[in-house]
Amino acid sequence: MATKSKARQKEALRKVLLKLSTASFDRPPTEIGYAVHKIIKDITKNDDPYKKVKARDNQAAMKFYSYLKELIASSDDRLLVAAKLAIAGNIIDWAASPEFDVKDTIDEVITQPLTINHFAQFRNSLDEAETILYIADNAGEIVFDKVLLEELAHKKITFLVRSEPIINDATMEDAKFASINKLAKVETVKITAKGLNTTSNRFKHFVDEADMLISKGQANYEALSDMEGPIFFLLKVKCPLIADHIQAPLGAIVLKAGGEK
């Protein structure tokens, strides 16, 4: 994906293998992944190997937008269905699985119960919150976030994306494609070797300004799972590491309040 040059592919592969051969198993996956992708980008001179994939996923997800709106409109609980659909969008993840069926996932999630179900707390927190920090995950997936944001249109929302490309994570370009900027104030945050830069003054400012946080996806869960207070994690469990940590089986859909079991 990053280059057609066989020579550069081989060079990148060898350097990645060397890096992995000395990597500590105690380091977080995000840190190792960041190092691997940096090697590939440096050798191939391609800063965004997933650019075409993200564009394709954005366009494909938009084709489901009307269907998502119909599901919400015909439901007995618009907020619950919108939240579950936002979780359904979390299947669009080329880092976890290169094969996924969006339509099947939508239909499955609509009828699937939340394995970790803190929806009542989620609704109560929303009732009390005036400002929300929504931390985005992947391109394509943000179209599914959009239908949840539209149910929160009466709130003041900051939508946080990555400041630079990393795998298929959503960036400002993706947010604008999905017209998220018409529903929320879109801001960026840097990614470091440890993942989401939660120690930066910029990130802390966004957290301090918000009455409530909504975190999408596994990578954000890894970075923020120790946070307490009004934070809610919306994700589909896609790997054994997260399954073990969150105490939910693979394939589970989760709406988890921070600090809750």
**143-172 as b/e, with b when 16 or more CB fall inside 10 Å?**
bbbbbbbebbeebebbbbbbeebbbbbbbb
pLDDT at 99 over 60: no
Give the per-residue pLDDT at 2.
Answer: 95
Alpha carbon 192 to chain centroid, angstroms = 16
Q: What tens digit of pLDDT does each residue of 215-237 get?
A: 999 889 988 988 877 999 999 99
DSSP H or E run through 21: helix 6-22
Could you tell me which of 110, 49, 64 has the C-alpha nearest to residue 85? 110
Model pLDDT for residues 188-212, shown as the tens digit of each residue = 998 777 677 787 899 999 999 999 9
Considering the chain, what percentage of its residues have pLDDT values greater than 70?
95
Give Cα 97 distance to the centre of its chain.
14
pLDDT in tens, 9-63: 999 999 999 999 999 988 877 788 889 999 999 999 999 999 999 999 899 899 9
For residues 84 and 5, give the distance between their C-alpha atoms in angstroms, rounded to a whole number: 42
Report the share of the chain in percent with pLDDT over 90.
Answer: 70
Smallest CA-to-CA distance from 161 within 180, 182, 179, 187 is with 187
Task: Evaluate if residue 97 carries a pLDDT over 60.
Answer: no
pTM: 0.91
Cα(174)–Cα(56) distance, integer angstroms: 11
Distance (Å, whole) CA 135 – CA 220: 8
pLDDT score recorded for residue 121: 96
In this structure, which CATH number among 3.40.50.10880, 1.10.3720.10, 3.40.50.1100, 3.30.420.40 belongs to the domain 51-257? 3.40.50.10880
Domains of the chain, residue spans = 6-44, 51-257
